[in-house]
Structure formats: C-alpha cells, structure tokens
Structure 1
Amino acid sequence: MMRLAHSPMPFGVVRSVERLSGRRFQFLFGLTFALAITFGAIVESVAADRVIEDATGRKVTIGTTQRIVTIGGDITEIVYALGAGDRIIARDTTSSYPAEANAKPDVGYMRALSAEGVLSVKPDLIIAVEGSGPKDAITLLESASVPIVIVPERRSGDSIVAKVRLIADILGETKKGNQIADGLTTKFKALETAIAKIPENERKKAVFVMSLNGGKPLAAGHNTAADAMINMAGGINPMAAVEGYKPASDEALIAAAPEVVVMMNSQQGAPKPDVVFDSPSLRATPAAQNKALVAMDGLYLLGFGPRTADAARDLAHALYPTLDLPEWPVAN
C-alpha cells in the first residue's frame, strides 16, 4: 500500500506565516483600538457640547472649556471655587481673588474691554458678567467664533446660587456646583433667619461711601451692590431714594443721619475715621459722633460671589455686635 508522505513545512516558511499572522493581528488590534478611541472621542465631544441660554437670551453652544477668559471678579471666584482655576488663561482687572488669579494675564477693566485683547490669548470660552463692556466690544466678541456667555448680574442670595449652578453647568462641574450652591443656600437662609429677629425700629441706618473726592462723598443709592449688601446685613440705606452712586450734598447726608458709614479698603489700607468724619457732609451725622466706620475689602463686600454670605454676616456683626449670628467655617 502506497502512503502519501507528509512533508514538514520548512522552518523559514513557518516563521514567515507566523510573522504575517502576527502583523495582521497587530494591525487589526490597532485598528480596533483606534476606532474605539475615535468613537469615544466623538461621544465625549458630543456629550461635552452643551447649549446654554445666557443673560441676553442668546443660545450659546459650549464645547471645550480648557482655555477660559473670565470677566468679572465674581465669575473668576466661582470658577476657582469649582476647582477649575487652572483652565483660566486670562481675567479682567476686577478679578483679584483668589491671590493666584493675579498671576493670570489681565485683559483690562470689565467695562473698558478690547475685543482684540480678549481674543489675543486664544480662548475657547469667554464667561463675562452682565454689564461688561463697552457694548461694541461685547458685540464683536459675540460675533467671533469663540463662544461667550453673559452671566446674569443680580444682587441676592438666590441669584448667587443660580450663578454658581449656571457656571458649573457651563464647565461640566455640575456635582461640585450643586455642593457649593447647597452650602450657600444654607448660609443665606441661616443669616436671613437671624436678621429677621432685629426689630424694625432698631435697624441701623448705614450709608456706603465709595470715595471722598475733595471731601464730597460719593454715596450709594438704590440699585447698587452696596445698597443690596446693606439690606442683606439687616441695615437701612438712608440714601436709597437716589439711583446709583451719586455725589451727596451736605444737606442730603445731614438729613439722612446715617449711624454707620461703610467704605472699602484702598491700596493704601483702611480709611481713617478722623479723615472720613472731617468731611462737612458727615461731620454732623450720628456716625461721626461715634466714629462708626466699617471698612472692608471691596471685592469681598460687593463681589456677590461665593464669599458673599460671609461678607454679609461680617457686616451684620459690625452693625449689630450683640446679634446672635450663625457660625460656619471661615471661607478660604
């Protein structure tokens, strides 16, 4: 019986087949891996794109948020509070907190922006507080390919909470944003409860003086951050009959009879009571008789950001030293 001989495949051929199979496997594996990565990136990109309605009613599509320009001290504070400060590549002049924000490039004062200056740092997102300007610069930024979100500027505890949630949604930091917002809600409610215990006839009249230009006070009226803060701290603004910040006449301030003067610290430090109450407009007021001057950091006092509940509590304590106010950990 004749048998067919089974000749073994030469070793070199075997190695060639193995190499070919190995290469084919590596190629197929690499192709599959690349497709998976690409598909994942597409899914992530689609998921990252969010549509936000800003303060102007515009629908803004948000993509990547790795290179942000923040316009407004409150905006910058919130971004840092959300743990996204490393994404800020530039900020405006009012953004001085936290301290590390000062190391970022400055694109100018929020109300005197240059669209070219903002775009020169190549942001992929601009977040600006309502009221930023001038209008022409904002219009140019809105027409650019870089998305810009205008965040509403309202002066209440609820509005700050809403602002935190909005910016958290913009940055994809919803969980962290909810934690901060819930904590702020608790603080504001606790402070409101404490303030409500002050009898109306014991509310302090507190006037906010922005500056003393030649001894003539620039006082805060209605629809100002200072007016809102005084009310939040349980005080009464005796200059609320006027709108905005206006030079106050001697007669107007004497008639207003403020019991406390509130001011901001300057670069030279806290204002001195002897200088402040030497002004003819304030010399005859009850505040001058007691040298009742409260000075605080401007952004802390008027920023209406994550530290506002703390600032309102501090101002309330200055106005009502014996009032039982809520306690919570000091802000970083």
Structure 2
Amino acid sequence: MRRRLVTGAAALLAGLLAIAGCVAPADDTRSAGGNGAGETATAEPPAVVDACPDPVEGFAVTVDADGQALHLEEPAPAPGGDGVDPREIVGPSTAIVDQEVVPIESTVEPTLPVTVESCDGETVVVDDASRILAVDLYGTLAEIVFSLGLGDRVVGRDASTGFPQAAELPLVTPGGHDLNAEAVLGLNPSVVLTDASVGPPEVQQQLRDAGIPVIFFDDARDLDRIPGQIRAVAGTLGVPDAGEDLLDRTEGEVAAAVALAPSGDDPLRIAFLYTRGGMVQLLAGPGSGADAMIRAIGAVDVGTDIGLDRPFTQITSEALIEAAPDVIIMMTKGLDSIGGVDGMLRLPGVAQTPAGEKLRVVDMADSVLLSFGPRSGRTIEALARAVYRP
C-alpha cells in the first residue's frame, strides 16, 4: 500500500505536519530530462525507489514499554553533572547547534535513470539530477541533498532551508511556505523533491504539467523515519551508496547524543509549544515530531502523557496545568513572536506550571528543531545540554 500525502499541512498555519494515509500507486509514469524533454528508454529497467518507505522502529534509540528512551548501562555523565537537579534550574536558555551541513566524503556521480514511486501515488522517472530543487516545511530534503555532497547542484531553496551553504540560493517560497510557480520555473530545475507540507498542491501539479519530474516524500517527521528518508532521497538522485554512508554517520551521531541524556525513574516532563504571535498557540502531542525529540533526551512529552490525540492542539489553561511541565521547549522565532519569556507567561496556564514558575523555557532555531535529518544527532545533543545544563 502507498501513502497518500494530506495536502492541507501548509494551510494549517504553516506549522503543523501532515498525516499520511494509504492508497495504491497510480500507473502514470512521468519522464525527467531537463524539463521533461528527455526519453525514458533504457536497455535495462531502471532501479525502483520507494519515496515513502516504512519507518525503522527504534532507529538509534532503544525504548522501554512506556516509550521512554533507554540509555547505556554505564551512561556518559549527565549534561547537568553529578548532583545537579534539572528541576531546580531557573531561567531561560537557548539550545545552540552548529547549523553547518557537513557533506560526506564518499559522494559519486549519480547513476541514472531511476524510477521512483512517489508518495502521492505517481510513478516518476528521474534521469537528470543536474539542477535539483528540494523544498519542504523544515528544510529536511535540502539538508539531505547537501549532506550527500550534491549541494552544488541545488538551484533554489525554501524559507526553512536556513543553513549557511544555502543562504545565497534564490528563494522559491516568498510567502513563507507557499511555492511560487514562476520562481520555480525560472530556475529550470531538472527534478523537484518535495512533500505535502508545502504547497499549494496546484503549484506542484503545474510543475509536473510543465514536464518537470516532481517527487513527493513522506512528510512525517520523527527519528524512525530518518533512515528511509535518507535512502529515498539518495536513491532518487542516483547515489544510493552515498546514502548508506550518510545514514551510518547519522545513526552514530544520534546514538551518541541519546546516550547523553540522564536515565532514572523520575524523568523531566517537557511541553513543546508552537506559537506564531497571538493567533497560533498550540501544544504538541503525539506525532508532532517534538514528542520524538523529547523522548530522545530521556524526558516525557506531556502532550502525549495527558492523552492528546492530535499532533497539535490549541493551548488551554486546564490542559497545561494538568500537564505540569518542568520545562517548555519552543522555536526561537515562535518565542520571539509573542514577546519572549514575558509573552510566554501570558499564554493560558503557563504561569501556573513548574516551568512557568521557574521561567524554564528552552528555545532552538526553527530550521533545526524538527528537521529530522542528518543533523539530528547534533540537535539532540544541543537540546539535552540546554535542558540539563543551560
């Protein structure tokens, strides 16, 4: 069964992750070659890549029956140090992660053509990876392309692709997370990598109608989907061996970062709040991506713990007071949009929580916190240190 991407993610206030369903693949096959002028005939059938593979359960993280991360029997010293109770820490902190994307050393020339089963049910043939455009809500796809050593082939970027190597690329989402068809067509991409977290879908269809191969990838974000995402992108671009090298490096970094978190019977309770000014004020829950990051640093995601059944739910005083988070995590721009820590205390219920009483908010750059890509190990490490030893 194939996944059908839900196309309303961008409309959900540009901050929510779409949820995938299942459909059978369509029979339509689209050819890539510059802007669709190439032929697909080959002596051998091209390799087939699944852009929506199943997640790898427990990737780099072993969890117990309650879903909490298990650490090494002899864990590394906790980021808080011996004798430091993270519940007694007072004041805000920022999780700082090196945003540079480090390409692997073993990149090779792409071997094409490749047939890709896109997540929207289309079958797409890629035979030109010379001009790549990779766009999604959190910049994950572009991060993978650059990490594979193919950054010099990328011709544009979305607003979330914030790492330094991509800073000078033309922006194709001038309205935030909405693709501009004219901007994309002006870059003459040979292949577009995307998902349902950006849109509108009419633009992606317009690109296909113009002869550009457009591949949809899984837009769900959690640790278990990192292996499939890396392999799918690498396979689509004809560099599967480079994908395995990148995956090996990423898994090692994630495992090392997870081992930093302290183990114990009384884990911290952490809430992730997504805000954009006074209009968007949401508490994260299961499937938000934030829940996976919180588990990775050995803590409890309070949204999941109190029984939320959606990735993001409007904040209410009752829910947040019941959740009783010890720490609140926010995106840096989201925290800034409400006036910093003072604004956070005005959110419903925050001032009545342990986190609010001690001003315990940890902010992190929007472009890395929920990316779930090759930099996730560094992200988890930075988040753990900011939570346990600000």
TM beyond 0.5: yes
Cross-structure match for 2:289: 225
**Which residue of 179, 182, 197 maps to 1:113?**
179
* Equivalent pair of 2:222/2:289 in contact (CA under 8 Å): no
3-state SS in 1 of match to 2:301: coil
The equivalent residue for 2:159 is 93
Q: Percent identity?
A: 28
SS across alignment from 2:155:
strand
Aligned to 1:303: 371
After superposition, residues 17-96 of structure 1 pair within 5 angstroms as: 48-72=112-136, 73-96=139-162
User: Matched residue of 2:283: which SS?
Assistant: strand
- 1:69 aligned counterpart, secondary structure: strand
CA contact (8 A) 1:205 1:235 kept: yes
Q: Which residue of 2 aligns with 1:3?
A: none
* Corresponding residue number in structure 2 for 1:178: 244
Q: In the aligned structure 1, how far is the partner of 2:191 from the partner of 2:287?
A: 30
State the distance in 2 between where 1:76 and 1:54 align. 17
- In structure 2, relative to structure 1, the CA distance for the partners of 1:136 and 1:210 (3 Å cut) is same
User: Separation in 2 of the partners of 1:302 and 1:48?
Assistant: 31
Question: What is the one-letter code of the residue matched to 2:350?
Answer: L
2:332 corresponds to 1:265: yes
Give secondary structure in 1 for the equivalent of 2:333.
coil
- Whether the 8 Å contact between 2:269 and 2:302 is mirrored in structure 1 is yes
TM-score if structure 2 supplies the norm length? 0.63
The answer to which of 213-222 and 312-321 deviates more is: 213-222
Number of residue pairs aligned between Structure 1 and Structure 2: 277
**Residue number in structure 2 paired with 1:317:** 385
The alpha-carbon deviation at position 181 of structure 1 amounts to 0.5
- Following TM superposition, the consecutive aligned residue runs of length 4 or more in structure 1 with deviations greater than 6 angstroms are 267-271
User: Which residue identity does 2:271 align to in structure 1?
Assistant: V
**C-alpha spacing 1:212/1:67, structure 2 compared with 1 (3 Å):** closer
Equivalent residue of 1:166, what SS?
helix
Unaligned 5+ residue runs, structure 2?
1-41, 47-110
Tell me the CA shift for residue 194 of structure 1: 5.6
Higher RCO structure (Cα 8 Å, ≥6 apart): 2
Q: Which has the larger radius of gyration?
A: 1
2:310: which partner in 1?
Answer: 243
**Matches of 1:234 and 1:144 in 2, distance apart?**
48
* Contact in 2 for aligned 1:55/1:130 (Cα 8 Å): no
Give the TM-score taking structure 1 as reference length: 0.73
2: CA distance, partners of 1:56 / 1:317: 39
- Give yes or no for the alignment of 1:129 onto 2:195: yes
Q: What is the identity, as a one-letter code, of the residue corresponding to 1:258?
A: P
Q: Is the 8 A contact 1:215 1:280 kept in 2?
A: no
RMSD of aligned residue pairs (Cα, Å): 3.0
Separation (CA, whole Å) in 1 of partners of 2:332 and 2:278: 18
Which runs of 5 or more residues in structure 1 are unaligned? 1-41, 323-332
* 2:6 paired residue number: none
Quick check: 1:111–1:134 contact (8 Å CA) kept in 2? Answer: no
2:169 corresponds in structure 1 to 104
The alignment partner of 1:90 has SS state of coil
Provide the C-alpha distance between the structure 1 equivalents of 2:321 and 2:269, rounded to a whole number of angstroms. Answer: 12
Structure 1's 281 and 216: CA in aligned 2 closer, same or farther, altered over 3 A?
A: farther
C-alpha separation in 1, matches of 2:325 and 2:191: 45
Contact map agreement 2:275 2:334 (CA 8 A) in 1: no
- Aligned to 1:127, the other structure's residue is in SS state strand
| One-letter amino acid matched to 2:200 | P
Aligned partner of 1:167 in structure 2 is 233
Aligned counterparts of 2:285 and 2:159: Cα–Cα separation in 1: 24
Q: Deviations over 1:43-93 (max 9, x none)?
A: 9xx852111222223221111111111112111111111111111111222
